[in-house]
Structure 1
Amino acid sequence: MEPPSVSVIVVSRGRPALLSRCITGLSQLDWPRLELVVVACPDGCAVVSARPDAAAIKLVPFDVPNISAARNHGIAAAAGEIVAFIDDDSVPEPSWLRHLLAVFADPEVAAAGGHVIGRNGITLQWGSRAVDSGGVATPLAIHADKPTVLTGRPGRAIKTEGTNMALRREALAAAGGFDPAFRFYLDETDLDMRLAAEGAAVAIVPRAQVHHGYAESARRAGNRTPRDLFEIGASTMVFLRKHCPPELHARHLERLRADQRARLLRALRDGPLDPLDVRRILHGLERGIADGAARPTGETTPLPRAAEGFRAFAARPGATHHVFTGPWRRRAALRRAAQDAVAAGDLATVLLLSPTALYHRMRFRPEGFWEQAGGIFGRSDRGDPLFTLHTRRSRAHAEVARLATVRPLSEDGRTGGKTPDPIRMIR
């Protein structure tokens, strides 16, 4: 049976370097029927147009600060049976779509969401969650590794994340896509609530993983310090108007104010903000709440079919994934080896292991390979012991085993066999 075609939609505004990195990550996906739709500002369009694979990308110019409207433009251009969404400051694991789309073999599944990895590249940022009519998310007690299909109900939805979600294109377009009243924040959560009200089945797929960077934007600094809370206030108010009983609005707004005030006071204590900044940003929150109380909402109309047919974007299904490891002093040689493997059409992960107990961090480099750095004796999973006795090779094998569920480092996809040892030591 042929796998479904998928259109991956990336919205980008003001982050061209991160957009390029995201596209490089998408080009390494293990999925054969892939279309890439990029909705971007002029800087983003320039970066896409300069790429050697530009002709294979559907590029939609859009320079309005409204992520819902931008995503709707992307849906209108998408010709895949499934549409998937990822943010420009994110990079997917190569197996992302293979896991995320498998659940659509069940015709009852309308949408699917995966797990999101945080800035250190290892710790879970967002896992399996439900969300209520006040926009409050709570963990779901479901299988930690296998897909689970759930159905929400009015007032309680299965939570998907905007940087790691997929839906059937035909049904999403017929429903009008995302509500443009949500210019930023709670846009996908509103869609989750609408799906729940319809009794739609939503799958949570823990192995479908995306790394999310929380990059700098007009609304937050690179260290996640808030710069502006206007749209958070506005979207919260719109969400309450659409989904929450009016008698509960005041309680949820007070929770919002308390949470954001505490967040700003932490930034004041740690130094990024001064008292005038806190006052200005809180004032912006209140202005946003007032704006959201009057903002037109619910104006979604069916989206058109794509004017152009499916445009294939070449990824790397079945590519061999190599692991290169060695001491920190050999990092230049390790990185060159990884780049050579990527240039040859393979995938690569570099393990930089120092003789220390430093914590590990994982990142996807712009050159197109994964790099994990830390101590031979240090912990990667933050729940592990602070110190574990290892040799360099045993530690490398332990990390390969940890990653095996989402990154098949020991599998030779072209031959269908197993390589005896995927690890290449550079001393």
Structure 2
Amino acid sequence: MEPSSSIDVSIVIPTHSEKRWASLTRTIASAHAQTHPAAEIVVVVDHNPPMAERLRREFPGVTVLENAYARGASGNRNTGAFHTRTPFIAFLDDDTVASPHWLAGQLTPFADPSVVGTGGGIIPAWAGVRPTWLPDELLWAVGVSYTGMPTRTAPIRNVWSANMIVRRDAFLAVGGFRTGFGKLGDQNRPEDTELCLRMSASAGGRWMYVPDATIDHEVPAERSTFGFLMRRCYAEGRGKVQMAGLMPKDQELGAEKDYLRRTLPRAVARNLARAGSGRGGYHALQAATVVAAVLAAAWGGGVETLAALFESAATATPAPES
């Protein structure tokens, strides 16, 4: 079922560096090419005035804003989202290309008033050859859909901000993305997951995943290395511990636990069986990569847990009397 053509939606695209100018240009073009036209396309520049001026000159049909908050993706997205006036807000990253039916497909579940947000499939656009040692279960590390996600339209706990649509009223009710928590520098905290959990809890609603509402997400060569994967998993471990500290005590990281207890062990067993049957030595490498990824994430989680404990102890220790 196609959404009504009268449904108004705005598209927000955060950006920060002219190094991504070529990919940003492709993102904007794909936003303009939707079969369900957007009411407004908003590009938000993260504390880079010369880039903002260039965008205004070269894209007169696009609203160009500058981040009104501290540097970072969360404030960048909030700046664009708070500017919009449409009942739905879509988010794309500046290194993605949306398929022509992306908006139409992902708006469809909103016919159910209990749906507060949707996400779609993210397909990797490898700059080079995909590493043979990288299993499908770990593709989330390069920002794309991975094995373990639904294969048809279905409820899901959270989606990714690279491919997300929200009800504006539900988004505003929780204050948008948590500023100061998202991606900045070498920090890679799950601000999109945290937003999804807050919106669901506040509105009593749910998220839907639409795998056929796809975007292509660039994967540069530097993200195709084993070292990057280990750093990404380590950062994910730290970020999930930080996110858990922000959540109510009665909310557990159930999706993460299921992924660790079921999806990853199955990946190890499957790849070891294939390697043992002579179907390619790279399967053994994929099994070893899963184990290494889990260890890296556990290391990151342990470091963050210890850091939080030390900070709590320091805060609780009274200052010595003068």
Q: TM-score w.r.t. structure 2 length?
A: 0.63
Aligned to 1:386: none
- Residue among 78, 86, 107 paired with 2:113: 107
CA contact (8 A) 1:25 1:94 kept: yes
> Partner of 1:118: helix, strand, or coil?
strand
> Aligned partner of 1:6: which letter?
V
> Partner of 1:165: helix, strand, or coil?
strand
> Partner of 1:104: helix, strand, or coil?
helix
- Residue among 12, 16, 26 paired with 2:21: 16
* Structure 1 residues 232-273: Cα deviation after superposition (integer angstroms, max 9, x where no partner): 565333202123859x99x99xx9x9637659xxxxxxxxxx
- Give the Cα separation in 1 of the matches to 2:310 and 2:91: 28
> Aligned partner of 2:176: which letter?
G
- Give the Cα separation in 2 of the matches to 1:8 and 1:125: 29
Q: What is the alpha-carbon root mean square deviation over aligned residues?
A: 4.1
- Give the Cα separation in 2 of the matches to 1:212 and 1:12: 14
Which consecutive unaligned segments of at least 5 residues does structure 1 have? 130-136, 151-156, 264-281, 296-427
Using the TM superposition, give the Cα deviation of residue 83 of structure 1 relative to its aligned residue in structure 2, in angstroms.
0.4
- Residue among 48, 65, 86 paired with 2:55: 48
Matched residue pairs, number?
247
Aligned to 2:192: 188
C-alpha distance 202-228 of structure 1, shift in aligned 2 (>3 A):
closer
Using the TM superposition, give the Cα deviation of residue 214 of structure 1 relative to its aligned residue in structure 2, in angstroms.
3.2
Aligned to 1:175: 174
C-alpha distance 241-97 of structure 1, shift in aligned 2 (>3 A):
same
Q: How do 1:19-34 and structure 2 match up within 5 A?
A: 19-34=24-39
Using the TM superposition, give the Cα deviation of residue 102 of structure 1 relative to its aligned residue in structure 2, in angstroms.
1.7
In the alignment, structure 1 residue 118 sits paired with structure 2 residue 135? no
* Structure 1 residues 362-420: Cα deviation after superposition (integer angstroms, max 9, x where no partner): xxxxxxxxxxxxxxxxxxxxxxxxxxxxxxxxxxxxxxxxxxxxxxxxxxxxxxxxxxx
Q: Identity, % of aligned pairs?
A: 24
* Structure 1 residues 191-224: Cα deviation after superposition (integer angstroms, max 9, x where no partner): 12223434312222121101111348xxxx3545
- Give the Cα separation in 2 of the matches to 1:259 and 1:231: 11
Q: How do 1:27-426 and structure 2 match up within 5 A?
A: 27-40=32-45, 41-42=48-49, 44-51=51-58, 54-62=59-67, 64-120=70-126, 139-140=148-149, 142=150, 144-145=151-152, 147-148=153-154, 150=155, 158-184=157-183, 185-198=189-202, 199-215=204-220, 221-223=222-224, 225-226=227-228, 232=236, 235-243=239-247, 259=293, 286=303, 290=307
Aligned to 1:387: none
> Aligned partner of 1:50: which letter?
R
> Aligned partner of 1:49: which letter?
R
C-alpha distance 28-244 of structure 1, shift in aligned 2 (>3 A):
same
Larger strand fraction of residues: 1
> Partner of 1:191: helix, strand, or coil?
helix
C-alpha distance 46-28 of structure 1, shift in aligned 2 (>3 A):
same
> Partner of 2:157: helix, strand, or coil?
strand
CA contact (8 A) 2:170 2:199 kept: no
* Structure 1 residues 85-137: Cα deviation after superposition (integer angstroms, max 9, x where no partner): 1111111001100101122222222111111111249x99799x9xxxxxxx9
- Give the Cα separation in 1 of the matches to 2:126 and 2:21: 22
C-alpha distance 43-262 of structure 1, shift in aligned 2 (>3 A):
farther
Using the TM superposition, give the Cα deviation of residue 139 of structure 1 relative to its aligned residue in structure 2, in angstroms.
2.4
Which consecutive unaligned segments of at least 5 residues does structure 2 have? 141-145, 184-188, 261-290, 313-322
Using the TM superposition, give the Cα deviation of residue 158 of structure 1 relative to its aligned residue in structure 2, in angstroms.
1.4
Aligned to 1:274: none
Using the TM superposition, give the Cα deviation of residue 172 of structure 1 relative to its aligned residue in structure 2, in angstroms.
0.5
> Aligned partner of 1:102: which letter?
T
- Give the Cα separation in 1 of the matches to 2:70 and 2:310: 21
> Aligned partner of 1:171: which letter?
A
CA contact (8 A) 1:117 1:125 kept: no
> Partner of 2:60: helix, strand, or coil?
helix
Q: Which structure has the larger Rg? A: 1
C-alpha distance 61-181 of structure 1, shift in aligned 2 (>3 A):
closer
C-alpha distance 125-76 of structure 1, shift in aligned 2 (>3 A):
farther
C-alpha distance 95-67 of structure 1, shift in aligned 2 (>3 A):
same
Using the TM superposition, give the Cα deviation of residue 290 of structure 1 relative to its aligned residue in structure 2, in angstroms.
3.5
